[in-house]
Structure 1
Amino acid sequence: MDSNFIDYLAYAREKNLHAGIGFSTNASLLNREKGKEIIKYIDVIHISFPSLDEDEYEKITGLNFNVSFSNIDYFLSLTKKSSRKIKVRLIFVKPFNFYKNLRNYVEAERIKNFCNKRNIACLRWLFFNRAGNLSNYKNYFQVVTRRTKLNGCSLPTKHSPLRLMPILFNGDVLLCCMDWRREIVVGNLNTQNIAEIWNSKLYKGILDKIYFGKKSNNNFLCTRCINDCKFSYFFNVSIGCIYLLFRKLFLSIGRMLKYQKS
């Protein structure tokens, strides 16, 4: 964990009292001291917890089951005492063979019951290959999904390139949160503003590949991702156009308000 992490949360909250602030964790470092500080600033927390079986958990994560479990339980006790409503979501990832293995069903039900008893959300996500960045599954998904024409984006956030802006510590803006290796850097907020990045020739060219049927080469990031949209081409073109129009409207309103203040 970054030694300045809590300071970053405090800064974000100070600058915008109404912003939704959250983060994801495996809870291994979410000890009592950090929990008491973090809870002051966040609205939502995603906790990755793949199994309630101690051996299975430690085999998957390489972490200490009892430490993580204790951290989660204590943090939940803090949320109950907090005057602010904090959403806690436990993330369980479905493996490839989920529907072929009875044990997977049993484990999923155990996690669901665990969440219900503690009144927290349980999100069962399908496996992501992180746009081909997980080397253990790279060859499998290259065979299944490699293509030069894309059909939109079906990440859990739905149409991520149109709705989200992943910003790194150094100001770099990525196309997608799955781009761990920083293959597609679309701009930098130290030298550009949001409007300039979103409306740049580079960004528009990328959206043409994802939503409007423009061919891309085999090495383009999104061709390696399993989260291609399953809707029709025309549906995705419509979605792309609608989002682009709303985004331009939003940026225009922002510029107008800034002009009025000045």
Structure 2
Amino acid sequence: MILTSLQPSSELMQSPPRFITSHPTLDHWRFTIRNKLQPFINSLIVSSSATVVAVFVGSLSGYAFARYQVGGNTLPFWILSLRFFPPIAAAVPFFIMMNRFRLLDTHIAVIVPHLIITIPFAVWMIRGFVAEVPRELEEAAMIDGCSHLGVIRRVTLPLIAPGIVVTALFCFIWSWNEFLFALVLTRSHAMTLPVAIAGMREAHGLMWGAVSAAATMATLPVLVMAIVLQKYLVRGLALGAVK
């Protein structure tokens, strides 16, 4: 993909294909940065907002489900079952709702449906992480004079921090890659990068060089996050796996 983004347009459709060019060019990158920078920023805004809200709600709900058994096992599983809900079934109702509230082609119009994807996963994951923290640690902190909110902030959340980081990363990836809601609920101002890439066409088909440059650009945030948070990923994925 990177090699394709550096090839001149005249070499992209050669047969047999040439994977390494002797005349690399940055024309495709210039075109992509000039025309697709705003969708890139829109994707960052939408994905970051959906991730923050999902992790915040998931932390509170997951703690309540794990410690107070709210709803027993039925309510948490019902929340998880929203992940099985086909997005296409909600696309038209969301379109009608956002159109009535005059929110079409705004960031909020995309963020709200993305929470259907991210919040159930965050609730279920964080519930499992909290359940692995021994109650005795929280009780000891309360005996020492810590309030209940203080226990959550100073004891529970730091212990499950790797799990929260992993949950946030997956929520970000799902929101970043989501296509259907962004396609239905945006036009131009709030268009996200996946929708913008799908629309990169010319008379003879896809603009392969520009598409490759845009797709490479689309992988950068997730790749950077994975590298920066690498030390938390293994701990988070293994949290609760070993008794």
Compare the two structures and name the one with the higher helix fraction. Answer: 2
- Relative to the length of structure 1, the TM-score reads 0.26
- Relative to the length of structure 2, the TM-score reads 0.28
| Greater C-alpha radius of gyration | 2
Instruction: With a CA cutoff of 8 Å and minimum separation of 6, indicate the structure with the bigger relative contact order.
Output: 2
Compare the two structures and name the one with the higher strand fraction. Answer: 1
